[in-house]
A = this chain, B = another copy of it.
Amino acid sequence: MTAATPPSSKPATLHDVARAAGVSLITASRALGQPAIVSEATRARVQAAVEATGYIPNLLAGGLKSRRSRMVAGILPALSVSQFLPTVQSLTVALHEAGYQLMLGQTFYDAVREDEVLAAMASRQPDGIVMMGLVQSERSRERLQRLGVPVVETWDITDRPVDMVIGFSHHAVGAAVADYFRARGVERVGIATGSDHRALQRRDGFVAAWGRDVPTAIVPAPSSLALGRQALGELLARQPGLQAVACSSDMLAHGVLVEAAARGLRVPQDLAVAGFGNAEFGEHMLPSITTVHVDGPEMGRLAAQLIVQRCQGQVPERAAFDLGFRLIERQSTAGGAPAGS
């Protein structure tokens, strides 16, 4: 063996590797980046030199010249909005498999912060951008278009995507829940919802399908159990004889269930409750929570695929994907006769 890792000198560069392997700089580069076009013997020597020197490639330098950072930016309202975690998870994994890393940024539901975050991301030269939700401001829209990298908006659908979009109609989700309650004979219904754009769109869909306005408790995002309890209190004060509540998240629904229990209301006999998001806990609680399932992991997987394809110069056949949703009926609404008996 030649020189091993020096105790604590400067980190090895590709130059050091090349010298240790007795090849030129560029050959070392190719042995690592495009092993197919290098002879096997050379490749092995370079590999050995990498081990010996403890070489770690510098992606800043590589990216500067190649204009490919092998990094994708992921923008979400906040990490604490657990709805997005499965999407972020599968996105991370799918990108990793393709040799990309995900860098997350949070907007906190604020259009100005969104633009700042996008600017910060842009300065790191991402190869693609995945948004959880649609782009908020016109300013951000233009910024994204000017960047010239593939953009995927997720968790919503629109006629006017910045580039590509994968999601479902929040309006349709709201309508489906309204239709479900009506089919069960519910007459006096309330809505407990977060204040974010998508949740309010679901509310709009609910009201449209319901046919008339619906008492609504709007709570600040991110939603929590405490806010769910509070929301039910408000709704009961405004709508005596309330029979059902549609919630904008399963955690909010959980809070509604707790508050209902605290007030001696039986669920679903006295009060039916539906959530959104199909969180893990909702399936196993007593009562289990009726909810709307959307395929979060698939959105992440597909977003990664589209970004990677575009980075490789391919043009995906479609630019918009409506993945739909599924209402899952559980105990919180599924008791025998509806309320008011």
**A residues 123-141 in Cβ contact with B at 8 Å:** 123-125
- For A225, the chain B residues whose CB sits under 8 A away are 280-281, 284-285
Task: Let me know if B80 and A124 touch, CB within 8 A.
Answer: no
Partner of A280, one of B92, B224, B283: B224
Task: Let me know if A148 and B79 touch, CB within 8 A.
Answer: no
The answer to whether the Cβ of A262 comes within 8 Å of any Cβ in the partner chain is yes
Q: Which of A50-58, A189-197, A198-206 contacts B (4 or more CB under 8 A)?
A: A50-58
The answer to whether the Cβ of A103 comes within 8 Å of any Cβ in the partner chain is yes
- Complex Cα spacing A76 to B104, Å: 14
The answer to whether the Cβ of A89 comes within 8 Å of any Cβ in the partner chain is yes
The answer to whether the Cβ of A229 comes within 8 Å of any Cβ in the partner chain is yes
The answer to whether the Cβ of A88 comes within 8 Å of any Cβ in the partner chain is yes
- Complex Cα spacing A99 to B182, Å: 53
Task: Let me know if A103 and B103 touch, CB within 8 A.
Answer: yes
The answer to whether the Cβ of A25 comes within 8 Å of any Cβ in the partner chain is no
Task: Let me know if B63 and A226 touch, CB within 8 A.
Answer: no
- For A64, the chain B residues whose CB sits under 8 A away are 58, 60-61, 64
- Complex Cα spacing A63 to B124, Å: 10
- Complex Cα spacing A57 to B64, Å: 12
Residue-wise, chain A 263-286 has the 8 Å CB interface mask toward B (1 for contact) of 000000000000000001101111
With A101-B120, A281-B225 known as contacts, the answer to whether A79 contacts B69 (CB < 8 A) is no
Q: How far is the CB of A273 from chain B (nearest CB, A)?
A: 15
- Complex Cα spacing A251 to B281, Å: 8
The answer to whether the Cβ of A258 comes within 8 Å of any Cβ in the partner chain is yes
- 27 sample A-B contacts, Cβ–Cβ < 8 Å, listed by A number: A11-B147, A11-B148, A56-B119, A56-B122, A57-B123, A58-B64, A59-B123, A59-B124, A60-B60, A60-B64, A60-B69, A61-B64, A64-B64, A92-B106, A101-B105, A103-B104, A224-B280, A224-B281, A225-B280, A225-B281, A226-B280, A226-B283, A226-B284, A229-B284, A251-B281, A258-B284, A261-B286
